[in-house]
Every structure is written in structure tokens, then in C-alpha cells.
Structure 1
Amino acid sequence: MTEIIKANSDEDKILTEITKRSKAYWGYSDKQIDEWSDLLTITSEYIQSNEVYKLVINQSAVAYYSYFEIENNSVRLDNLFVSPENIGKGFGKILMNDFILKIKQSKKSGIILDADPNAKKFYESFGFTKIGQIETSIKDRLLPIMEFQLDKIVDS
């Protein structure tokens, strides 16, 4: 059975593990993952303070996303990670569709995110557009800043 449910604050370690393993899947070195450890760690406090939803298969979390409200009636998609053994099975798409539906139902007008360069095409496939970029700690690596405007969606 597959379902998407709100994460509990005591699931910080499993979500951190999914995050780090998923990031490493894209070819980042162990050294780089260690350098990013603080950025890739999901704490109990983070789960309590933000909207965090996990995709569960047979009672095990295999993927998750998290977001929080920002100015201008928008939200920031902060994380979307799928465990490496489940990448390519459509779970990222399931999570994005769930996320966009939640945001649309909340009457928010837009979504913003900083995409890993490896995920840019994934987000573009949902209608996100690049509106800028930021430098990272890796030389010559830029994170695309992407936006999705929900107020441009017309219900049919």
C-alpha cells in the first residue's frame, strides 16, 4: 500500500537518511555530503515547524517533501527527496502532484525553490521556470532558482 501522510517529528533520522542517500545518488562525493551535513539534516524541530509529508510503501518511508510559507502568498518547496533504490519509479512525480494539489487547494499564488542542477528538468516538466541562480560551495556549480505561478492555472 502506498500513501502520502504527514511526517512525525520522531522520523527525523529516516528523513535525513533519505536526504543524504538521495543526494549522494547524483554523484556527489562522501566528502561533499559530509560538508553539506548540516544542510541535509532534517531535525525534529524542522518537522514540527514546517509542512513535511512522506511517501510510505508497506509502512516504510521511501520519499518525502517539505515546504513552508513565504511572503507574497507563496510557499517555498524546501526538500523533495526519493530514496536511491526508488528513483525512477515515479515517486517523485507522485510527490510533486500531491504537493502542487495541496498548494493549489490552500489558495496560495506561487511556489519557489532552489533546484539541484540534476533536478532542473524534473521541475521544468511540472511547469516551473528558472528565474535566477545562486552560487554554491562547489566551484562553477549554480543552483537554479525556480518558480511556479498557481494563479496562472485555469480550472477547467
Structure 2
Amino acid sequence: MRTRPARPCEAGALTELALRSKAYWGYDEAFIAACRAELTMTPDDIGPRRTVVAEEDGRILGFTTLEGEPPAGVLGMMFAEPEVVGRGVGRLLFGHVVTEARRLGFARFTIDADPNAEPFYRAMGAVRIGATPSGSIPGRELPLLEFTLASRRTLAGGSNSRS
């Protein structure tokens, strides 16, 4: 499994992957339909949102985006195919975001997390700093997390210890 920059021609496939990934948590069709606009990637989004995919044997298993400008960014999207959840795709993508954010000079990034994904992000070292309104579901709030790059040394070897 490796990461690589996403291609503009993959925007539609990434949108469908995001919707499948969101549905993994048991949301009904109406909920997923309400999220479609927010989870849609266009060819013009790929570069500016710093979109990266995780792939294996030419198959895209997940993707992520790192948005904004230093010193503060946003992990805008991170999704994995439902059948590979638990195989390290999220850890690989998160590690890429951390490495890229450091390289670009970010000090921190925030994450508007699905409530079901909050434990994963917390295990990666993010901390909850509040809540933020859902961009798709009126009245729904999402956990707002922050990852501070200065507090982390590495994600290699599965270590999540704080420095």
C-alpha cells in the first residue's frame, strides 16, 4: 500500500468512495443523500485541496485532503473503502497528512470529525477542542478536533505516545 497524489480524473470515484465510507457507519440513504454535496469532489478540487490517495495494486483504498495555508490547516476529508477499515489505510493517510503539513510549515490542523471517527483521530493524537455544525445536516454537531504538529514526533511503528 502506498500514497500518491490524486488525479483530477479520479474526482468522481473519490466522491463515490466518500459516500460508501460514510455509509459504513450505518447512516440511512436519506442521510447519505443529504451529505452528497459536501462530500463531492470535482476535478478542480484535487490540486488545491492537496488530495492524496492510498492505493494497492492500482486500486484506490482511501483518500485524504489537507486544506488551508500555514500555520493552521484543515484535514478536510479522509475516507477509506468500507472493506479495508482496520487494515491501516487511515493510519497511512493520516501519517501522510502529518508529514505533508510539517513540510509545508503548518503548526496545527483541525478536523471536523464524524462522531464515529473521533476515536480514530484521538488515537492518532488529535484532541477535542469543541464542536462544529454539520455542513450537511441542520441541527447536527460534529466533534471539532485539533492536531498540533509540535507535540508529535512520529507515527511510525504504531507509536502514538506524546512527546
TM-score, normalisation: structure 2: 0.86
Query: Structure 1: any 5+ residue segments left out of the alignment?
Result: none
Over the matched positions of the two proteins, sequence identity in percent amounts to: 29
Aligned-partner Cα distance in 2 for 1:64–1:135: 23
Please identify runs of 4+ aligned residues in structure 1 that moved more than 6 A: none
Hey, what does 1:5 align to over in structure 2? 4
RMSD: 1.8
Q: Distance in 2 between matches of 1:73 and 1:36?
A: 29
1:18 aligns with 2:17: yes
Give the aligned partner of residue 80 of structure 2.
82
Map residues 49-68 of structure 1 onto 2, 5 A cutoff: 49-68=48-67
Letter in 1 for 2:56: I
TM superposition shift of 1:142:
2.2
Three-state SS of the structure 2 residue aligned to 1:78 is: strand
Residue of 132, 135, 158 corresponding to 1:134: 132
What is the letter of the counterpart of residue 145 of structure 2? M
- Name the structure 1 match of 2:159: none
| CA drift at 1:138 | 5.8
Q: The residue matched to 1:31 in structure 2 has which SS? A: helix
TM-score scaled by structure 1? Answer: 0.90
Give the superposition deviation at 1:109: 0.5
Q: CA deviation at 1:134?
A: 2.0
Alignment of 1:56-135 (within 5 A): 56-70=55-69, 73-135=71-133
| Maintained 8 Å contact 2:66/2:101 | no
- Bigger mean CA deviation after superposition, 26-35 or 130-139: 130-139
Q: In structure 2, what is the equivalent of residue 41 of structure 1?
A: 40
Gaps of 5+ in 2: 155-162
Report the alpha carbon displacement of residue 25 of structure 1 after superposing the two structures with TM. 0.7
CA contact (8 A) 2:113 2:142 kept: yes
Paired residue total: 153
Amino acid at match of 2:22: K
Separation in 2, partners of 1:13, 1:122: 26
Distance change >3 Å, CA 44–CA 119, structure 1 → 2? same
Q: Name the CA distance, whole Å, in 1 between partners of 2:33 and 2:104.
A: 36
